[in-house]
Amino acid sequence: MRQIQYTMKPQDVVILLKIIAWNNNNWQQSALADALKISQSEISQSVARSKYSGLLDTDGKKVMRLGFIDFLQYGLSYVFPQRPGALVRGIPTAHSAPPLSALINSSEIYVWPYAKGTVRGQTIGPLYPSVVKAVIEDEKLYQLLALTDALRVGKVREKNIAIKELKNKFQNEL
């Protein structure tokens, strides 16, 4: 008998952040799939992985925020690392996007590649390709993902500020 291995995928982080941004434990998988431009089957698989890992409750509706913040703070940069790449046009992320852009002054600009973007900066690969389109429609998700990217690519100071901001946002969305 073959044992199923539940290994986290980058889209699991995106999905959990979207659930937090919605701040509603009555969400539906079909609405989540539409909002994130991810297939319904991928949402279902992600929910199963997150329940297994303890990042979603047993009903699969509520994000276990303390465990999730621990994962983001201590594991994200190791599991889903990222290094800045070539200069491209795109949507600002990490310390180049709100809320960190108001707190950190930097000559380095990081962006998710996007042809309709208005900012030129170094490429940061998004956790999932559809993220760029999804954040255009959801400012809360955009800020959460930008803070998450700061954890993936930031220096110690940026990471410390980002985790503090994430903790505040997680508490405010209760």
In terms of domains, do 16 and 75 share one?
yes
Cis peptide before 99 (omega within 30 of 0): yes
Report the predicted TM-score, pTM, of the whole model to 2 decimal places: 0.94
In terms of domains, do 94 and 73 share one?
no
In terms of domains, do 59 and 115 share one?
no
Pairwise CA distance, residues 129 & 88, whole Å: 16
Domain-terminating residue out of 79, 104, 132:
79
Q: Please report, in angstroms and rounded to a whole number, the separation of the first and last CA atoms in the chain.
A: 42
Provide the mean pLDDT of the chain.
94
Main-chain dihedrals φ then ψ at residue 57, nearest 5 degrees: -65, 175
* Residue 155 falls inside a structural domain: yes
In sequence order, the β-bridge partners of residue 20 are none
Q: pLDDT of 22-69, one tens digit each?
A: 998 899 999 999 999 999 999 999 999 999 999 999 999 999 999 999
User: What's the total number of domains in the chain?
Assistant: 2
Of the candidates 2, 6, 27, the one whose C-alpha atom is nearest the C-alpha of residue 16 is 27
In terms of domains, do 64 and 109 share one?
no
* Residue 28 falls inside a structural domain: yes
In terms of domains, do 41 and 92 share one?
no
Which residues form the domain of 39?
A: 10-79
* Residue 2 falls inside a structural domain: no
* Residue 143 falls inside a structural domain: yes
Q: At 98, which amino acid appears?
A: P
In terms of domains, do 70 and 96 share one?
no
Domain-terminating residue out of 79, 114, 138:
79
In terms of domains, do 127 and 147 share one?
yes
Q: How far is CA 167 from CA 70, 114, 125, in A?
A: 10, 29, 24
In terms of domains, do 69 and 94 share one?
no
What is the pLDDT at residue 5? 73
Q: How far is CA 145 from CA 4, 42, 52, 159, in A?
A: 29, 19, 23, 13
Domain-terminating residue out of 20, 45, 79:
79
**Helical ranges in 37-106 per DSSP H:** 40-53, 65-74, 76-79
In terms of domains, do 131 and 154 share one?
yes
| Tens digit of each residue's pLDDT, the chain (174 residues) | 666 778 899 999 999 999 999 998 899 999 999 999 999 999 999 999 999 999 999 999 999 999 999 999 999 999 999 999 999 999 999 999 999 999 998 899 999 999 999 999 999 999 999 999 999 999 999 999 999 999 999 999 999 999 999 999 998 764
